[in-house]
Amino acid sequence: MMHTSFSWRDLISEAVAGLASRPARTLLTVLGTVLGVAALVATVGIAQTAGNRIVGTFSELEATSVVVSNNRGYYGSGPAPVAFPQDAESRIARLNGVEAVGVMGPVNVNGALVSTVTLDDPTGLNEFQMDVVAASPGLFDAVKGQMRMGRWFDAGHDARADNVVVLGPGAAQKLGVFRVDQQPVVFIGDAPYVVMGVLRDVARQADLLNAIIMPEGTARADYDYVSGTTVQIDVALGASQLIGKQAPIALNPDDPGTYRVRVPPAPDALRNSVEGDVNSLFLILGGVSLLVGAIGIANVTLVSVLERVGEIGLRRAVGARRRHIASQFLLESTAMGLVGGVIGATVGILVVVGLAASRQWTPVLSMWIPVGAPLLGGMTGLIAGIYPSLRASALEPVDALRSGT
Amino acid sequence: MTTEQQLDWPSGDVPVLSLDGIGRTYMSGEVEVAALADVHLQVRRGEYVSIVGPSGSGKSTLLNILGLLDRPTAGSYLFEGREVASLNETDRTAVRGRRIGFVFQAFHLLSHRTVVENVTMSMLYTGVSPKERVERARSALRSVGLDHRADFTPTRLSGGERQRVAIARAVVAEPAVLLADEPTGNLDSRTSEAILGLFDQLRAGGLTIVMITHDSSVAQRADRSVRIRDGRLTQVEAA
């Protein structure tokens, strides 16, 4: 005789009817999976959003900075430094992706002390040993500097080797220079220099804040300054890796490897490490809630099997095979998990979007999450339903019918 | 008797049910209990047979074996000429689902499903299309006088109406035999009379009926009555 069968269509409609006949219980059961999946989605989403945010703030400054230097090693262990060409600034500025570039290097003033006025004051110190730094005109933009007063020197000062300096805020404080409109003078040793500006702040090369900064041309004329030690480049977002490769070639085509280049870490690596930190803890939390959800489904499905023993007996009596019974209960639990996954993913995404909106961040979520989360819920339901389904299918029809409805 | 080569649907005068030396023993701890011993019974097509006996006499065991819900531990059971005592689970389920209709004392209706859904249940696993299932269910409900209750849930029906739904469910798949287990056990005498009248009507329509009861007055409604006591059919009498 032809075996009895159970079409997919009938299986689905029976499972749906089974769930719909106890709507309140079904919803409560689904709630566990909703919470688990929502927690997972929100965790991953928040981590991705925050990771993106952190990278975003880093990149304003870090990701756009490329530094080339010619001193090899901190203790001079390498070969003698190779000087940068005098037109370093224009060589680099030509590269596509460079926003600003400047050269800087220490000036050896042979131990000369710096002072504003020659004044014998036995109680106070008015001569200081200070860092003197030579800089190219473009450095101001390359370090994203801001002036407190006055202005930064330009190419003219550099070319004429004018005796002008710009003070870092620390140096100005120390020397007692509080205004520049009357062109105060500082003495390096005996040589006078007009202070044409005082910095407020720099975003890079914080050494400048306590230094006396003069044009490179002036340093060459007055001291035996040969070349800067550092080329600071401000690049467009995303161009740092490229400029990091091109800059040494532009500076020294014969032997580009002679310079050390410092570029920011690739953004992906940074983002991954941030996400990794945030994720691992909360993923465990989400996983635990999902496990609790699965246990809830398993529990309710098991109770449902015990309650519906009479139904199982009847179905066996009218021709349902063991596998038909098992598949019905398995589909019911899987459907509960799937519905929980869909609702949970929705809730989780709303949480991420809501949080991002409240902080005015851009919500970031991988494509696989809205697709994967319901599947995860369905898998949870499927796994949770295995044991109850086997219990249901293992019932002997005689025993099932004896128990009553 | 070799039965493996017999056709699925032998025609002619082959009995619908034929029990030959059927026994069923249970293990109760270390002790073997015989619920049925050496049962011989033949039911011909169109016959209305009642099996009457007190509780504990083994009549439920007999019904379970007749309905292929349980396996005998001894003997041979020919269903429409085909040996079914040794069939595997899947084949037994197929015979049960396609050829046997059940009516239970406790009705076994699904309380969350409508009456018509309950009736279609017996065609769910036998490859009848959904549309035809509903048509046949409604016509079966009409024949038991319940077509106006088709979209109710069983919780809103009286006991007699519920049993009529169960009977509609049992006959809608056109089984070879209707097995009724104490069909009037949960009903008062007037409702019982109506149900027994429905059985008479089905019998007149050519349906083969085997009814189990502890009530001799109910049993007497059948063409013939078989008495069971201590797992043995002790008496066969003409009605």
DSSP state of B229: E
Token look-up 């005689």 returns: A398
pLDDT computed for residue B239 by the predictor: 46
pLDDT tens per residue across span B175-233: 999 999 999 888 888 899 999 999 999 999 999 999 999 888 888 889 999 999 888 88
Structure tokens at A393: 């299918």
pLDDT at A276 over 70: no
The tens place of each residue's pLDDT in chain B, 239 residues long, gives 444 444 444 455 789 999 999 999 988 888 888 889 999 999 999 999 999 988 888 888 899 999 999 999 999 999 999 999 989 999 999 999 999 999 998 889 998 899 999 999 999 999 899 999 999 999 999 999 998 999 999 999 998 999 999 999 999 999 999 999 999 888 888 899 999 999 999 999 999 999 999 888 888 889 999 999 888 887 665 54
- Identify which of A1, A22, A316 has the shortest CB distance to residue B8: A1
pLDDT at A363 over 80: yes
Looking at chain A, the whole-number percentage of residues with pLDDT higher than 90 is 36
- Identify which of A3, A314, A322 has the shortest CB distance to residue B108: A314
User: Looking at CA atoms only, how far is residue B60 from chain A in angstroms?
Assistant: 10
**Contact across the interface for B98 and A319, Cβ inside 8 Å:** yes
Nearest Cα neighbor of A302 from A372, A386, A238, A230 is A386
The residue-averaged pLDDT of A75-86 equals 69
Q: Which of A315, A318, A327 to mutate to test the interface with B (most CBs of B within 10 A)?
A: A318
**Contact across the interface for A316 and B93, Cβ inside 8 Å:** yes
Q: Where are the domains of chain A?
A: 8-58+268-402, 64-265
Task: Report the amino acid identity of residue B180.
Answer: A
Q: Which of A11, A13, A314, A402 to mutate to test the interface with B (most CBs of B within 10 A)?
A: A314
Which distant-in-sequence residues (6+ apart) come within 8 Å of A368 by Cβ?
A: none
Phi-psi region of A391 (alpha: psi -120 to 50; beta: other; left: phi over 0): alpha
pLDDT bracket for residue A60 (50, 70, 90): low
Phi-psi region of A143 (alpha: psi -120 to 50; beta: other; left: phi over 0): alpha
The residue-averaged pLDDT of A131-144 equals 92
Token look-up 């299918």 returns: A393
The residue-averaged pLDDT of A171-177 equals 88
Q: Which domains does chain B have, with CATH numbers?
A: 46-63+96-238 (3.40.50.300)
- DSSP letter string over B75-108? EEEEETTEE-TT--HHHHHHHHHHHEEEE-TT--
Chain A residues with CB under 8 Å of B169 CB are: 318
Structure tokens at A61: 């400054």
pLDDT tens per residue across span A283-298: 787 788 788 888 888 8
**Contact across the interface for B125 and A401, Cβ inside 8 Å:** no
ipTM above 0.85, yes or no: yes
Helix, strand or coil for residue B73? coil
Task: Report the amino acid identity of residue A70.
Answer: N
Q: Which residue of A has its CA nearest to B71?
A: A398
Q: Which residue of B has its CA nearest to A18?
A: B112
Chain A interface with B: residues with Cβ < 8 Å: 1-6, 9-10, 14, 17, 21-22, 310-311, 313-322, 324, 396-398, 401, 404-405
Q: Exposed/middle/buried for A118, CB within 10 Å: 0-12, 13-18, 19+?
A: exposed
Nearest Cα neighbor of A403 from B163, B25, A395 is A395
Average model confidence (pLDDT) for chain A? Answer: 85
Q: How far is CA A362 from CA A30, A52, A57, A268, A357, in A?
A: 31, 8, 13, 17, 7
pLDDT bracket for residue A57 (50, 70, 90): low
| Entry field: residues in chain B | 239
pLDDT computed for residue A32 by the predictor: 83
pLDDT computed for residue A39 by the predictor: 85
